[in-house]
Structure 1
Amino acid sequence: MPPIRDRVLTTEDTRARTRLIEKGPVRATIRAEVNLTLPRALSEDREERAPEPVSCPLTLLASIYPRIPRVDLRVAIENRAKDHRLRVIFPTGLEDADHAYAHDRFYVMKRPINPPKGEGWIERPSATYPQRFFVDVNDGVVGLMVANKGLPEYEVRRDGEAVLMLTLMRCVGWLFRIETVGPVIRLPPELLPRIEAVAPPVVIPTPEARYQGRHVFEYSIIPHEGNWLTSGAYKEAYGFNVPLLAHETAVHEGNLPAAASFVRVKPDTLIVTAVKRAETEDALVVRFYNVTGKTVQGETEALKPLEGAWIADLDEQAIRRVTLKNGRIVAHDVAPHRIMTLKLKLKNNS
């Protein structure tokens, strides 16, 4: 809960020091440096910001790549301030967007930009929501997606246009709890005296949650046409979170083709979430889900011949055996938003 007399500081009118530090055939990177001057902490009564300022140096690296339609950003900050939240704000220019779309595990949530008023609610409706890999705002014609690595809180506000906000840090020095109610996050001030009269509040210090010191954050800006699905922007968000890992070997003989996939799942709307060895047997587990709201006809193809294939549950227990095509391909219809797990057993000589 913010203090009663709060202050919001931005870098909108701050001049940053910028320079090009990399320009090659694979990547170009700009470095920007700015010094954030922030209040040291909350006041002793926690009703306003302390007047003493502290300096928090911030460095941003912005990188682009050929034929990859996104801008990858890496932010490093030396945090010396306490009791504050650091966010990145993205004006979208979208005046007709009504919803935000947030990636979750095995699903993409659709939420209205205007939160409920919460009339008669004990706790105020929160304007912040969770996400996993990305959040997207679009009007069906164009849109803006922001992907992230481990930054689960976002907010979208309407200020003429839709404004997307990504939380980098939430530095909390204490938690507030009323024993008969539980944790209080956004309690209306008019209710607080009535509840305190029955159950005095307990303030729990959380000094380590103030996140002092150096911290690094990574996120990516992905502008697109259409919506998050039709544009394929979700694939860029996955590519940002699960980048290609290269491994160089010595020169040696082999029988693999110049280009191949050991396991390939298609189409792209079937999102692979796991490729692993089975826990209790010599088999390969491939798990994916249908990110769309329609049934998808797909295939899973192995590079090597298979001895057998089974539909399995999340515990890797076989449900039923499936027929193979050409000894290497499993055809499957995946219902809307359904999770599917395949268990594949390779032939001994492959």
Structure 2
Amino acid sequence: RADPSISIEEDGPLSATLRIEFVLRLPIGLNDSRKSRSEEQVDCQVISLVTLRNGARRVDIKTRINNQARDHRLRVIFPTGLVNATTSCAEGQFDVVERPIARPDTSDWVEQPMFDYPQRSFVDVSDGEYGLAILNKGLSEYEVREDKDCSIALTLMRCFRFQLCMRNVGGRWLDWENQPDSQMQGWHEFEYAIYPHRGRWTDSDVFAQAHGFNLPMRMVQCGQHQGALPKALSFLTIEPKTLVPSGIKLSESGNAIIVRVFNPTSEKVKGTIKFFRSLRSVRLVRLDEQAVEELKVKNGSCVEIEAGPKQIVTVEITPQRQIGD
């Protein structure tokens, strides 16, 4: 265990940040037999900046680690306290994958399983009444531990000696010691966030929080000019929140806008896409933008869509005014 030093890094009207510093004393690596850790130890400095922004519903964390140890995995553990939760839910490719927390009896299995699973931008645990989502930027491995706190473990780094099994050379392992980057030595930075919420992930805006954390709003300053747009405006409005936007782009023809959404739930979802200006036409298209059918425009700027369970839906929107006007 390490004794942390905690100080106030920032305390302003828009955000407050705590700075937490400590040193992890870890074995330098595996011993020569590669069956246990070395008795020799090294210091690994850890600095975490914990930020809460005004009006935010999540806590953002940025952790920097000076890794001097080899052959180890470093994780952050979040005790959820959701002891009645039975499954975890993690974002996948156009999906949210639900997995059981309970471990099966594997005493008679030849090969023991791993309970580390892949994720994209979040993993969520809920007991139905309350939930806790851990958001991340580029940290693709998690585990929900079957312990008294139903803890979520987020992997920051895996440090290992790169080896390759050469079956055509007697089935022996060959070390590639000339590729030391697999040990992740030196300073590394990781970003993740804690987002508590009510209900399950489908009842809250976990997706919006996770994607907003990964792709924050970009501000652009421009010069003085004339314009007819109001001070507050949404380019697109997609409802309900269980329809997740995955892409907005110009069509390959250059004359329309392609909007792609997906339904990660296990139920059919009916929703709407509303554009900020009047529409000439809307078509349901395939991923390659080939037309499937015309969709009816309602109230001049809105279209209704339907997405089956785990379905991707792509529409082509043509505004009344030419794009760029």
Which of the five TM-score ranges fits, normalised by the shorter chain?
over 0.9
1:73-116 deviations in Å (ceiling 9; x for gaps): 00001111111111001111222211111111211111111233
Quote how far apart the aligned CAs of 1:213 are.
1.6
Q: Secondary structure at the match of 2:123?
A: strand
1:239 maps to: 212
Which letter maps to 2:174? V
Establish whether residue 19 from structure 1 lines up as the match of residue 13 from structure 2.
Answer: no
Amino acid at match of 2:83: E
1:202 correspondence with 2:190? no
Q: 1:301, 1:261 → 2: CA distance?
A: 9
**Secondary structure of 1:69's partner?**
coil
SS of aligned partner of 1:50: coil
Cα distance in 2 for partners of 1:154, 1:348 equals: 47
The reply on whether 1:99 has 2:87 as its aligned counterpart is yes
Q: 1:99 is matched by which residue type in structure 2?
A: T
What's the counterpart of residue 172 of structure 1? 160
Counterpart among 291, 296, 299 of residue 326 in structure 1: 299
Is the 1:117–1:125 contact (alpha carbons within 8 Å) kept by the matching residues of 2?
no
Q: CA deviation at 1:210?
A: 0.9
1:115–1:125 contact (8 Å) kept in structure 2: no
- Which range moved further: 170-179 or 264-273? 170-179
Aligned equivalent of 2:271: 298
Structure-2 separation of matches of 1:145 and 1:314: 31
Amino acid at match of 1:37: R
- The answer on 1:339 being equivalent to 2:312 is yes
Determine whether 1:313 maps to 2:313: no
**Distance in 1 between the 2:238 and 2:204 partners?**
19
**Residue number in structure 1 paired with 2:112:** 124
Equivalent position amino acid for 2:185 in 1: Q
- The one of 39, 47, 62 equivalent to 1:51 is 39
1:88–1:165 CA contact under 8 A, matched in 2: yes
2:198 aligned residue:
225
> Corresponding residue for 1:250?
223
Q: How far apart in 2 are the matches of 1:159 and 1:49?
A: 25
SS of 2:57's partner is strand
Equivalent-residue separation in structure 1 for 2:55 and 2:265 (angstroms): 25
The separation in 2 between residues aligned to 1:209 and 1:280, in whole angstroms, is 44
Q: Which amino acid in the other structure matches residue 173 of structure 2? A: V
How far apart, CA to CA, are the structure 2 residues paired with 1:278 and 1:179?
A: 49
User: CA contact under 8 A between 1:154 and 1:164: conserved in structure 2?
Assistant: yes
Q: Please show how residues 178-189 of structure 1 align to structure 2 within 5 Å.
A: 179=167
Q: Secondary structure at the match of 2:104?
A: coil
The alpha carbon displacement at 1:179 in A equals 2.5
Residues 27 and 151 (structure 1 numbering): CA distance in 2 closer, same or farther, change over 3 Å? Answer: same
Paired residue for 2:239?
Answer: 266
Identity over aligned pairs, percent? 39
Moved more, 60-69 or 292-301: 292-301
Moved more, 242-251 or 111-120: 111-120
Residue 248 of structure 1 and its aligned partner are, at CA, apart by: 1.9
Q: Shift of residue 232 of structure 1?
A: 2.9
Q: How many residues align?
A: 321
Residue identity in the other structure for 2:13 = P
What's 2:102 paired with?
114
1:61-82: CA deviations, max 9, x gaps? 0001222211100000111111
Corresponding residue SS for 1:159: coil
Report Cα offsets for 1:17-76 as digits up to 9, x if no partner.
111111112111001111111111211221111222111111000001222211100000
2-structure distance, mates of 1:204, 1:342: 51
Would you say the 8 A contact 2:24–2:45 is kept in 1? yes
Partner SS for 2:151: strand
Aligned-partner residue type, residue 289 of structure 1: F
Moved over 6 A (4+): none
Q: Counterpart of 1:139 in structure 2: which amino acid? A: D
Residues in 1 aligned to 2:282 and 2:201: alpha-carbon distance in whole angstroms? 33
Query: Does structure 2 retain, via aligned residues, the 8 Å contact 1:175–1:204?
Result: yes
Which residues in structure 2 correspond to 1:275-294 (within 5 Å)? 275-294=248-267
Residue 177 of structure 1 and its aligned partner are, at CA, apart by 2.6
Q: Which runs of 5+ in 2 are unaligned?
A: none
1:213 equivalent among 179, 186, 190: 186
User: How much has 1:276 moved relative to structure 2?
Assistant: 0.9
Aligned to 1:158: 146
Question: Over aligned residues, Cα RMSD in angstroms?
Answer: 2.0
Q: Distance in 2 between matches of 1:267 and 1:311?
A: 19
> Normalising by structure 2, what TM-score?
0.92
